[in-house]
Amino acid sequence: MDPVELRPLGRRGLKVTRFGFGAGYLGDPMEAIPETQAEATLAAAYHAGVGFFDTAPWYGNTLSEHRVGHYLRQQPRASFALSTKVGRTYRRPANPTGFSFPRWQGGLPFELTFDYRRDAVLRSYEDSLQRLGLNTVDALVIHDLDPRQQQSEEGVRKRLVELDAGGGYAALRELLERGEIQAIGAGINHLGMIPRFLERFDLDYFLVAMPYTLALQEALPTELPLCQARGVQVVIGAVFASGILATGAKPGALFRYQPAEEAVLRKVAGIEAVCARHGVPLAAAALQFPLHHPAVAAIIPGANAARQVRENLAHMRVAIPAEMWRELKHERLIDPASPTP
Which residues does the annotation mark as catalytic? 54, 59, 85
Q: Using the 8-state DSSP alphabet, how is residue 111 labeled?
A: E
Measured distance CA(24)–CA(60) in Å, rounded: 8
Which residues, in sequence order, are CB contacts of 338 under 8 Å at separation 6+?
217, 220, 289, 292, 293, 325, 329
Measured distance CA(182)–CA(15) in Å, rounded: 10
- β-pairing, 296-299 vs 233-236, is parallel
E strand map for the chain:
6-8, 15-17, 21-22, 52-54, 81-86, 88-91, 111-114, 139-142, 183-188, 205-208, 233-236, 254-255, 258-259, 296-299
